[in-house]
């Protein structure tokens, strides 16, 4: 268990214009959807200036070719592939962590392990892997996947994927390449190599990774599952979990449940940071914040397809109730949150879209910088969160306002760092660096 003072962890979810669907129509947002690296670089530098733990890059991969109706009015998340982006961003930053979303349905463990190991050395140990196993129809069609695993099977495949990835990263001792001797001609420590002979239910390999062990041992594992299966996966593997809760009671229940499952996997609850998503709008007064948020809401376009967590509700009255719909295979936990909110507050589809879909079930806080800090502190101190995944509704302005106004307020309260104390993402989060089990076993054998 860490002995350092507990502080709020802060990551930021960066998108092209901001997370709110009305953001792209606001003054000051990015002028177009064309990829622009300089724009992303400025955002990440702003987050680093605020001493945030990490910048997080989602990946909404695979747009269905059959769903182009109304595409000209659709705010799409079309931008750089995350691993490519963090490679470039790692070269122009020095401390902030960089978390890339990678879907286990579209990758192979060996190639991904090799790329993450490379990125670890490019960034000097600042990478994180947001492990995703969802499989939307558009993505499956884009990759030509005919076999559709069930929800539980996809998590089982992801579990196998992570297990093999760890074995690959552990195929070299940490110091295997540190003893190159020009005089003797010995380039590496032969006993530092640990060939992988892996046979799992979905993946197999007989190899050794052609990259040294990552700087952090493994990239930091992030995950966002909310279903029962997703919570078990998080308890077993995740070190950051992006939760979704609009009310503190729900957040406290999720926090206790996931951390309570960790003991069965031999894990310390402190090695998992529960980080609910937080959308925020800051004003000099509550009224100003409400007005700024209202301006976003007014620009939401309800024409064309209306998608609520993967369900097309375009055929139903916009101002009518949510009909009874079958539970989707993707996003089961979020869908249950959405339907529970709809029934509890008798919301129309329009209200649900604005309340839930605009921020994907995350909490929305409006007010002054002090008000925002009060809300973060309350959830942090009442075991509802270890930190927050910030979801700026409008970029770049929302992020700059948070860094310039809320961060100093948290620092004054002793809740957030004033300077980075370490260099790796694990050090920022107070997470242990995983030992190589091959090295541990060899040491134990020698000592015995």
CA distance 381 to 373: 12
Three-state SS string over 7-65 comes to CCEEEEECCCCCCCCCHHHCCCCCCCCCCCHHHHHHHHHHHHHCCCCEEEECCCCCCCC
37 and 116 share one domain: yes
Residue 2 has pLDDT above 60, yes or no: no
68 and 114 share one domain: yes
Q: Is residue 2 part of a domain?
A: no
Residue 87 has pLDDT above 90, yes or no: yes
The token pair at 402 is 């948070």
Which range in 135-139, 255-259, 277-281, 296-300 is most confidently predicted, on average pLDDT?
255-259
Q: How much is the average pLDDT of 238-262? A: 94
CA distance 334 to 122: 35
Q: How much is the average pLDDT of 301-311? A: 71
Q: Return all residues near 96 (Cβ < 8 A) that are at least 6 apart.
A: 44, 47, 48, 52, 53, 54, 55, 126
Which one has a higher pLDDT value, 2 or 431?
A: 431
CA distance 234 to 374: 28
232 and 368 share one domain: yes
Q: Is residue 4 part of a domain?
A: no
Angle at the Cα of 388 (from 400 to 15), degrees rounded to 5? 50
365 and 235 share one domain: yes
CA distance 442 to 446: 6
Pair type for strands 204-207 and 311-312: unpaired
172 and 266 share one domain: yes
- State the total domains in the chain: 2
Domain holding 169: CATH number?
A: 3.20.20.30
Which phi and psi (to 5°) does residue 410 adopt? -65, -40
322 and 441 share one domain: no
Query: Can you spell out the DSSP letters for 395-407?
Result: TTHHHHHIIIIIH
pLDDT band for position 4 (cuts 50, 70, 90): low
Residue 1 has pLDDT above 50, yes or no: no
92: how many CB neighbours lie within 10 A of its CB? 13
Domain range for 320 is: 305-357
Residue 42 has pLDDT above 70, yes or no: yes
Which range in 200-209, 245-254, 293-302 is most confidently predicted, on average pLDDT?
200-209
Residue 362 has pLDDT above 90, yes or no: no
Q: Is residue 282 part of a domain?
A: yes
Q: Is residue 46 part of a domain?
A: yes
Q: How much is the average pLDDT of 234-241? A: 97
Q: Is residue 160 part of a domain?
A: yes
253 and 195 share one domain: yes
The token pair at 15 is 């998108």
Measured CA to CA in angstroms, residue 367 lies from 156, 286, 374, 405, 428 at distances of: 43, 4, 10, 12, 28
The token pair at 195 is 């060939």
438 and 351 share one domain: no
Residue 299 has pLDDT above 50, yes or no: yes
Angle at the Cα of 366 (from 363 to 372), degrees rounded to 5? 85
Residue 10 has pLDDT above 60, yes or no: yes
136 and 282 share one domain: yes
258 and 175 share one domain: yes
Q: How much is the average pLDDT of 160-184? A: 95
Residue 80 has pLDDT above 80, yes or no: yes
350 and 220 share one domain: no
pLDDT value, residue 238: 97
pTM of the model: 0.88
Give pLDDT tens digits for 116-130.
Answer: 999 999 999 999 999
Residue 326 has pLDDT above 70, yes or no: yes
CA distance 244 to 382: 16
Among residues 357, 376, 396, which one ends one of the domains?
357
pLDDT value, residue 24: 61
Q: How much is the average pLDDT of 211-220? A: 98
Give pLDDT tens digits for 22-31.
Answer: 766 667 777 7
């Amino acid at each position: 268990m860490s002995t350092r003072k507990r502080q709020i962890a802060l990551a930021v979810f960066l998108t092209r214009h901001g997370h709110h669907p009305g953001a792209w129509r606001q003054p000051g947002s990015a002028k177009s959807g064309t990829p622009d690296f300089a724009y992303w670089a400025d955002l990440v530098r702003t987050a680093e200036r605020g001493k945030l733990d990490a910048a997080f890059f989602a990946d909404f991969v695979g747009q269905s070719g059959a769903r182009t109706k109304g595409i000209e009015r659709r705010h799409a998340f079309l931008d750089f592939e995350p691993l490519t982006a963090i490679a470039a961003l790692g070269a122009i930053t020095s401390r902030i962590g960089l978390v890339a979303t990678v879907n286990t349905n579209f990758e192979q463990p060996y190639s991904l392990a090799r790329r993450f190991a490379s990125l670890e050395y490019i960034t000097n140990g600042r990478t994180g892997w947001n492990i995703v196993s969802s499989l939307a129809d558009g993505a499956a069609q884009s990759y030509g996947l005919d076999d559709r695993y069930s929800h539980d099977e996809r998590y089982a495949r992801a579990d196998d994927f992570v297990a093999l990835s760890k074995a690959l990263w552990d195929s070299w001792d940490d110091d295997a390449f540190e003893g190159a001797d020009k005089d003797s001609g010995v380039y590496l420590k032969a006993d530092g190599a640990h060939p992988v002979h892996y046979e799992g239910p979905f993946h197999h390999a007989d190899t050794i990774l052609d990259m040294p062990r990552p700087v952090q041992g493994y990239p930091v594992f992030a995950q966002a599952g909310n279903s029962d299966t997703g919570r078990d996966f998080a308890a077993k593997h995740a070190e950051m979990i992006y939760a979704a809760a609009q009310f503190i009671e729900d957040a406290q229940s999720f926090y206790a449940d996931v951390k309570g499952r960790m003991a069965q996997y031999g894990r310390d609850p402190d090695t998992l940071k529960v980080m609910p998503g937080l959308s925020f709008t800051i004003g000099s007064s509550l009224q100003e914040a409400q007005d700024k948020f209202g301006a976003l809401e007014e620009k939401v376009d309800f024409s064309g397809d209306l998608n609520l967590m993967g369900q097309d509700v375009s055929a139903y009255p916009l101002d009518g109730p949510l009909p009874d719909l079958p539970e989707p295979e993707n996003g089961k936990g979020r869908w249950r949150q959405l339907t529970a909110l709809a029934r509890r507050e008798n919301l129309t589809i329009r209200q649900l879209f604005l309340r839930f879909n605009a921020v994907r079930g995350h909490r929305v806080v409006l007010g002054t910088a002090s008000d925002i800090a009060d809300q973060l502190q309350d959830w942090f101190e009442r075991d509802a969160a270890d930190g927050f995944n910030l979801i700026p509704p409008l970029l770049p302005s929302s992020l700059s306002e948070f860094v310039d106004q809320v961060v100093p307020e948290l620092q004054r309260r002793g809740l957030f760092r004033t300077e980075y104390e370490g260099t790796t993402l694990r050090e920022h989060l107070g997470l242990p660096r995983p030992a190589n089990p091959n090295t541990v076993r060899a040491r134990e054998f020698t000592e015995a």
